Chain A
């Protein structure tokens, strides 16, 4: 065991920090510190392009496609410095972390050429069309239909909870292309242009007043036949590959953002005297322990050069961070105490800590609920018998 990052990695860290902090103090000062997902969307698209212009938009991708071939450790370092500099979340997170890697893993050369440059350049914003009103945890029960007609896929149905669809250019859609099929069989994975007459988007207001996610309706929406990633009927396999990206390594760098949030809570506790309260002190200490637990877990996973092993370990990571952060939201409210009842009307509707409380209610739901994660750990990880389920 050899702890700590290498000298080269530390040098890389300094380079990231230098550039990101420079941006947040300079040209992109106006977006620094935004914590909601939708505020100043247009400026944040410009930020995506700025990242691209300096080759920071998709560092984990191969150089050929605009990346830097960065190692996992470097990707984590970048994500950490990104959070530390107070840069708001990526509006093209889904393009960079989910669509891109999926196309790289499963797409044809032609598809790579068609999609990757736009994503890398911050010109093509992607959203994720998985969930449907009837298909949440049970993703395999997707009903949105795709049929082939004159060299085009024609899609009808509805997706829901589509984050950022209203500012996206493209959507990847899990569709049922085999008439009468059930479950994971007969599904296919399509890339579709959002800005077409057959796709309609309606915002859904969230408990924090933000409308980050949407209902997405498909009425004879179209895409060329060769917009399918993988083969007809291979959609489930592609979707699972993508979910492994979503739940796994793409989140390993987020502890720095969590660090910022915990620091904010500690500062609030010092300011209002709760830092002297032994009960709050203990909970802060526990939160710190939880954070370090994730940190060391992540660092250990990173040391593993066999990526398939990382995915196995990452199985336990989603529930760990989601539950920790939901608890952090509650700690924030207990630190604020009665003052937490008042919203001070920040520029973005909610102050940082109350918004953390509200937003963290969803961490244990999206990307696979805590219950589903536990099922995966127990059934796939521990090999336990499956819970009886109804007929599909």
Chain B
């Protein structure tokens, strides 16, 4: 048993983090928001990093990595509040096609010229599709009505897993913004972060996020291993990550005071993405029900004769 990522996996994630930190800061989000949300150069940069091909099998020119690594990268996309639908195409769509043995044309995904639509009956819309435009609560998501939807539970689980992964990254970033603000904003002659009333709240966010992460990684591995219990792990991950992200969003706004309520402070981009993803791919109620059905309905083996990894 080794509940750790390898050095290679971590190096990959760090590379993506550094790249996005360097090229995709808040000023980019603001520019996109003012200028129609998309800039082909951003997508091209992701393609050049090899990210569209991350989950594409090596035979089709990709890197052929598994879902845990993809989840790790999805978290980085959340941290950067990446608006391009990379996660949808590359970490949800591609693994879904691969699971069905539909390998044709994946080379084009690697090359960045093909997007994989991932519309599920549970949220019958897709990002950057060809259908009629819909308005998301997230100003940077270009949602469109989906022509065709699938009701494949595997697709739903992949979508939920990758949303959970993005949510922990989003939460990390919001916590970071709040902590940094609490260090520089002074009131009553000291940084507001010195007041226990704030410090303790931020510490609680940190606890929620740090405990959500292993749940997400556990779910990714369960999906990778195609465990029967994988859907329950995914639901657990989605709920834990949603709770951590919403708690952190709420706290981060509070820590910023009135600043946190403005469009001019970057925080709201992260907050609205979190909000959108909490509802996507099965909302809280949906996933809690899957967990309680499993726990009380007997699909999850529990009791003294079982361990519970």
Binding stretch for chain A, among B5-13, B131-139, B147-155: B131-139
A369 near B257: Cβ-Cβ < 8 Å = yes
Binding stretch for chain A, among B84-92, B186-194, B297-305: B186-194
Q: How distant is the Cα of A366 from the Cα of B143 in the complex, in angstroms?
A: 34
| A326: Cβ under 8 A from any B Cβ | yes
| B19: Cβ under 8 A from any A Cβ | no
Task: Determine which of B257, B261, B279, B284 lies in contact with A207 in the assembled complex, contact meaning CB atoms within 8 Å.
Answer: B261
Contacts of A369 in B (CB 8 A): 254, 257
Q: Which of A277, A342, A345 has the most CB of B within 10 A?
A: A342
Please encode chain A, from 357 to 377, with 1 for each CB lying within 8 Å of some chain B CB and 0 for all others: 100011011100111001100
B254 near A337: Cβ-Cβ < 8 Å = no
Given contacts A137-B257, A274-B285, A338-B123, A389 and B190 within 8 Å (CB-CB): yes
A389 near B261: Cβ-Cβ < 8 Å = no
B285 near A361: Cβ-Cβ < 8 Å = no
Main SS of the interface on chain B? helix
| A223: Cβ under 8 A from any B Cβ | no
Given contacts A136-B257, A374-B197, A209 and B263 within 8 Å (CB-CB): yes
A361 near B253: Cβ-Cβ < 8 Å = yes
* Smallest CB separation, B192 vs chain A (Å): 8
Q: Classify chain B's interface size.
A: 35 or more
Q: How distant is the Cα of A4 from the Cα of B284 in the complex, in angstroms?
A: 40
| A206: Cβ under 8 A from any B Cβ | yes
B253 near A337: Cβ-Cβ < 8 Å = no
Within 8 A of B (CB), among A264-299: 274, 277, 279-280
* Smallest CB separation, B149 vs chain A (Å): 13
A337 near B285: Cβ-Cβ < 8 Å = yes
B258 near A137: Cβ-Cβ < 8 Å = no
A341 near B189: Cβ-Cβ < 8 Å = no
| A82: Cβ under 8 A from any B Cβ | no
Q: How distant is the Cα of A265 from the Cα of B58 in the complex, in angstroms?
A: 50
Q: How distant is the Cα of A330 from the Cα of B272 in the complex, in angstroms?
A: 13
| A131: Cβ under 8 A from any B Cβ | yes
| B47: Cβ under 8 A from any A Cβ | no
Q: How distant is the Cα of A130 from the Cα of B282 in the complex, in angstroms?
A: 45
Q: How distant is the Cα of A307 from the Cα of B97 in the complex, in angstroms?
A: 70
| A114: Cβ under 8 A from any B Cβ | no
Q: How distant is the Cα of A381 from the Cα of B275 in the complex, in angstroms?
A: 37
| A25: Cβ under 8 A from any B Cβ | no
Contacts of B122 in A (CB 8 A): 338
Q: How distant is the Cα of A366 from the Cα of B262 in the complex, in angstroms?
A: 13
Within 8 A of A (CB), among B233-292: 246, 250, 253-254, 257-258, 260-264, 268, 271-272, 275-276, 278-280, 282-286, 288-289
* Smallest CB separation, A143 vs chain B (Å): 13
Q: How distant is the Cα of A213 from the Cα of B257 in the complex, in angstroms?
A: 14
Contacts of B254 in A (CB 8 A): 364-365, 369-371
A371 near B285: Cβ-Cβ < 8 Å = no
Can you give 22 A-B contacts (C-beta < 8 A)? A137-B187, A205-B263, A205-B264, A206-B262, A206-B263, A207-B268, A207-B272, A213-B258, A330-B246, A333-B279, A337-B286, A338-B122, A338-B123, A339-B279, A341-B280, A343-B136, A365-B253, A387-B195, A389-B189, A389-B190, A390-B189, A390-B190
Q: A338-B283, A344-B135 are in contact. List 10 more A-B contacts (CB 8 A).
A: A136-B257, A206-B263, A274-B285, A326-B250, A337-B285, A339-B279, A340-B137, A341-B137, A361-B253, A365-B261
